[in-house]
Amino acid sequence: MKRLLRVALGILTAIGGFVDIGDLVTNAVVGSRFGLSLVWVVALGVLGICLFANMSGRVAAASGRATFEVIRERLGARAGLANLAASFLINLMTVTAEIGGVALALQLASSVYYLLWIPVAALAVWLVVWRVRFSIMENVTGLLGLTLVIFAVALFLLKPDWGSLAGQLTPAVPEQETVWTYSYYAIALFGAAMTPYEVFFFSSGAVEEGWTVKDLLQERINVLVGFPLGGLLSVSIAACAAVVLLPAGISVTSLSQVILPVAEGAGKIGLALVLLGIVAATFGAALETTLSSGYTLAQFFGWSWGKFRRPAEAARFHLSMIVCLLAGIAVLATGVDPVLVTEYSVVFSAIALPLTYLPILIVANDPQYMREHVNGRVVNALGMVYLVIILVASIAAIPLMIVTGAGA
Amino acid sequence: MLANPAPGPAGRSTHPGRTNVGALAPAASALLGVALLTGCSSGITESVSTAVKDSSSAVATARIALRQDMAGKLTRAATSTTLDDGLKELQSSRSTVLKLSPVTTVDRGTQRQALDALDQCAAGFATARAALAAGDGGTPSLADGDKALADAQDVLKQLESTVASP
Amino acid sequence: MTAQPGPLRPAPKVAGRILDAQLHLLDRQVLDHDGVPVTTVDDLELAGPAVDDAIEPGTPAPVLSALLTGPVLGTRVFGGRPPSSRLIRIPWKDVAEVGVVVRLGVSGESLDAGWVERWVRDKIIARIPGGRHDPR
């Protein structure tokens, strides 16, 4: 029974922790402008993240080392430094977007201007990183994030025309959009689903929680059941937008538009649940990205790291995270729209994906670290296919950004 | 015993003959980029129709929010935030239209029409926000706010059709 | 015009392991006696004849004297060499084991390489309430 509870907890936390501000915003934008014609990208991204999260968890469980530690050892200082620079900057952008997301959701709940919530949100993130135990942090934010299932509930309550919704699933460019904006948003959605920080966080978290080879089965279940269900959540966000906002000619540019379909279908209770869910999911993601910034820096330079250590025993690790949070506050204090930061962060995540995933594929094939747990042939084949997809998306992103004016 | 010593700092070999060619490539691509970007904008109709699209999205959002508030589905805080977000969107569209530099008389007329339509939208938002602040049973009522926004939406639709078919 | 050197004598047999500096030492994590990470190996210092000196026959082979860390990473990637007095060294005699990670036989507290960590700990982290709290 206890074992079953642990499995359930793992899956539920994975579902609730899957969605972050990038998924919320990008899926809503896509649903309001393209209907469900880009859902195939979500499926592609979910499969990709399942593949690579599984791989990086296996690396951590088999070798006892987190992925970024091994990147420097395997690829050398120069490639590792380039990888670090790109990953760290994009991580920082994502931290900023997540904290902005928490503040925006709190503004919707309270009517207090979001800029006033930003220092509060950042301080709360820091306090949890400073004091709260890793497993408690993951479980609480993951379970609370499950309330986002209200998107699926609201979708049913809206009683949409299921036939025409299903008809939208075919990958076709809607008439009011161009093939360029379609491709641009396909890349954005892909980057939102395959967030790079997830992989760093997942493998470092495996070391934090002391996973061994015995835990590999649990980890596989978490990923293979939890992430696809999380992907279904993302699709329901897009579907809600497609049912309520698309027919009204509304294209999503703010968080308030994302929640309107839920209020439409489920009233004030739905509104309360969705705001709770957004705060929990973005707060959890803010924690994960902040920790990822610390992990990547500490693992590259060989600093002592980990939430399982006293802060005094991992001083530079904690200091770097404090600096990241301060940088995030500074960027948001300039008044830049957090939704805009989010939209850029998912596209830049897509651009950085090859840097993140290629090393994982290399390390997961190295018998010196993995011993008998190296990748099988199927996993390697899938990994190579995804590497090609990731490279195509990464190379096409910037030209498309220029041609479409960042999706306008 | 070590096989090889530590890799020392790599000597930077310079190729003096290469620098000229290397400098041309980024300049050429910059020129191409500028040509691409300027070629994309065709008069002010493009910018005006984008502004109209964004504004009608904002107005439609505000109408949905008001309707949900009247039906008791939305809290005051959420409605007022939605209206504020819509107003911000509207204001940025208006400032884009304002900053255009029309050349022909037709273009100047289009800009004037667009500004008038956007001002009407802004007035509709003002009524809606005042209604929200006035609370239930105050004046203006939420229904008045919705009516003002609906009128603004019609004006925008008219403008859209004139801009689309000059 | 130097005379053509004769064929080299075979290298003397050595006792112990043969390591490749690039593969087994560089960029490896250094853990101290208690398993706490200290740094990564950013570069290596060799004692022996300098780079441009002529080597007399019978000169003993260069010896690895220290692991290097700190700003030397920047010069390793971008070029150049910091002056000897600025190098942060972990003497080779402190190394206990070389495997997937490099283990030292001493505690990180006494090492030069741990200076930045100790400074950040004492001046910043320990001053924030809860800095010494054990999370478990």
pLDDT tens digits for A239-278? 999 999 999 999 999 999 999 999 999 999 999 999 999 9
A107 shares contact with chain B (CB less than 8 Å): yes
C18-47 average pLDDT score:
91
C24-50 average pLDDT score:
91
Q: How confident is the model at residue A191 (pLDDT cuts 50, 70, 90)?
A: very high
Strands C29-31 and C102-104: parallel
Q: What is the pLDDT of residue B19?
A: 47
Q: Kindly report each contact of residues A112-121 with a partner whose C-beta sits within 8 Å and lies 24 or more positions away, as own/partner.
A: A114/A338, A115/A332, A115/A333, A115/A335, A118/A329, A118/A332, A118/A333, A119/A329, A121/A283, A121/A286
Residue A104 has pLDDT above 80, yes or no: yes
CATH of the domain at A386: 1.10.4160.10
- How far is C100 from chain B, CA to nearest CA, in Å? 17
C42 shares contact with chain A (CB less than 8 Å): yes
Domain ranges of chain B: 44-164
| Contact yes or no for A188/A407 (Cβ under 8 A) | yes
Inter-chain touch C73–A77, beta carbons under 8 Å: yes
Tokens read off for A52: 């690579």
CA angle A367, A372, A374 (to 5 degrees): 60
H-type alpha helices, B71-104? 76-98
Higher pLDDT, C12 or A101: A101
| Contact yes or no for A32/A256 (Cβ under 8 A) | no
Q: How confident is the model at residue B38 (pLDDT cuts 50, 70, 90)?
A: very low
Least-confidence region, from A42-46, A143-147, A397-401, C44-48 = C44-48
Inter-chain touch A268–B68, beta carbons under 8 Å: no
Per-residue pLDDT of A116-127, as tens digits, reads 999 999 999 999
Q: What is the dihedral of CA A59, A5, A310, C25, to 10 degrees?
A: -10
Q: What is the mean pLDDT of chain B?
A: 80
Contacts of C70 in chain A (CB under 8 A): none
Q: Alpha carbon of A287 to those of A17, A91, A294, A323, C75: distances in Å?
A: 11, 12, 11, 14, 34
B27 shares contact with chain A (CB less than 8 Å): no
pTM of the predicted model as reported, rounded to 2 decimal places: 0.89
Which residues are CB-neighbours of A117 under 8 A, at least 6 positions away? A102, A103, A106, A107
Q: What is the pLDDT of residue B41?
A: 45
Tokens read off for B100: 């255009």
C37 shares contact with chain A (CB less than 8 Å): yes
Q: What is the pLDDT of residue B8?
A: 39
Q: What is the pLDDT of residue A190?
A: 96
> Domains in chain C, start-ordered, CATH in brackets?
21-47+62-127 (2.30.30.240)
Q: What is the pLDDT of residue B14?
A: 44
- How far is A74 from chain C, CA to nearest CA, in Å? 9
Q: What is the pLDDT of residue B15?
A: 44
Closest CA to A360 of A384, A338, A340: A384
What percent of chain A lies above the pLDDT cut of 70?
A: 100
Task: State the Cα–Cα distance between residues B143 and B140, nearest whole angstrom.
Answer: 8
Q: What is the pLDDT of residue B26?
A: 61
Question: Domain range for residue A348?
Answer: 2-404
Task: State the Cα–Cα distance between residues A401 and A191, nearest whole angstrom.
Answer: 14
Inter-chain touch A244–B37, beta carbons under 8 Å: no
Residue C136 has pLDDT above 80, yes or no: no
What percent of chain B lies above the pLDDT cut of 90?
A: 51
Strands C63-69 and C29-31: unpaired
- CB-nearest to C81 from B3, B5, B9 is B9
Q: How confident is the model at residue C43 (pLDDT cuts 50, 70, 90)?
A: very high
Residue C61 C-beta-side C-alpha neighbours within 13 Å: 10
Task: State the Cα–Cα distance between residues C112 and C42, nearest whole angstrom.
Answer: 14
Q: What is the pLDDT of residue B25?
A: 56
The two most distant CA atoms of chain A are separated, in Å, by 59
Q: What is the pLDDT of residue B24?
A: 57
What percent of chain B lies above the pLDDT cut of 70?
A: 73
Contacts of B6 in chain A (CB under 8 A): none
Q: What is the pLDDT of residue B44?
A: 82
Which residues are CB-neighbours of A197 under 8 A, at least 6 positions away? A87, A91, A94, A288, A289, A292
B77 shares contact with chain A (CB less than 8 Å): yes
- CB-nearest to C21 from B2, B9, B10 is B2
Nearest CA in chain A to C127: A312
C81 shares contact with chain B (CB less than 8 Å): yes
Phi-psi region of A79 (alpha: psi -120 to 50; beta: other; left: phi over 0): alpha
C24-39 average pLDDT score:
92
Residue A9 has pLDDT above 90, yes or no: no
Task: State the Cα–Cα distance between residues C28 and C43, nearest whole angstrom.
Answer: 10
Per-residue pLDDT of B67-88, as tens digits, reads 999 999 999 999 999 999 999 9
Q: What is the pLDDT of residue A13?
A: 87
Least-confidence region, from A107-116, A200-209, A219-228, B19-28 = B19-28
Residue C36 has pLDDT above 80, yes or no: yes
Nearest CA in chain A to C102: A302
Q: What is the pLDDT of residue C10?
A: 85
Residue A302 has pLDDT above 50, yes or no: yes
Q: What is the pLDDT of residue B20?
A: 54
Higher pLDDT, B162 or B120: B120
Q: How confident is the model at residue A215 (pLDDT cuts 50, 70, 90)?
A: confident
Inter-chain touch C40–A302, beta carbons under 8 Å: yes
CATH of domain B44-164: 1.20.120
| Contact yes or no for A243/B65 (Cβ under 8 A) | no
Contacts of C18 in chain B (CB under 8 A): 1, 3
- How far is C14 from chain B, CA to nearest CA, in Å? 8
Inter-chain touch C62–B6, beta carbons under 8 Å: no
Least-confidence region, from A80-84, A393-397, B15-19, B49-53 = B15-19
Task: State the Cα–Cα distance between residues A180 and A186, nearest whole angstrom.
Answer: 10
| Contact yes or no for A36/A165 (Cβ under 8 A) | yes
**Most confident of the following: A48-57, A327-336, A363-372, C77-86:** A327-336
Task: State the Cα–Cα distance between residues B47 and A408, nearest whole angstrom.
Answer: 11
Task: State the Cα–Cα distance between residues B80 and A105, nearest whole angstrom.
Answer: 13
Residue B47 has pLDDT above 80, yes or no: yes
Inter-chain touch B80–A111, beta carbons under 8 Å: yes
Task: State the Cα–Cα distance between residues A238 and B92, nearest whole angstrom.
Answer: 26
Contacts of A260 in chain B (CB under 8 A): 61, 64-65, 68, 74, 82
- CB-nearest to A256 from B54, B60, B78 is B78
Contacts of C133 in chain A (CB under 8 A): 131, 310-311
Task: State the Cα–Cα distance between residues B87 and B85, nearest whole angstrom.
Answer: 5
Higher pLDDT, A22 or B11: A22
Helix (H) or strand (E) segment spanning residue C103 = strand C102-104
Q: What is the mean pLDDT of chain A?
A: 92
For chain A, list the contacting chains (3+ Cβ pairs, <8 Å).
B, C
Residue B140: asked if its preceding bond is cis (omega within 30°), the reply is: yes
Q: What is the pLDDT of residue B4?
A: 40
- The identity of residue A186, as a single letter, is A
Q: What is the pLDDT of residue C2?
A: 65
Task: State the Cα–Cα distance between residues A196 and A232, nearest whole angstrom.
Answer: 20
Residue B3 has pLDDT above 50, yes or no: no
Q: What is the pLDDT of residue A14?
A: 87
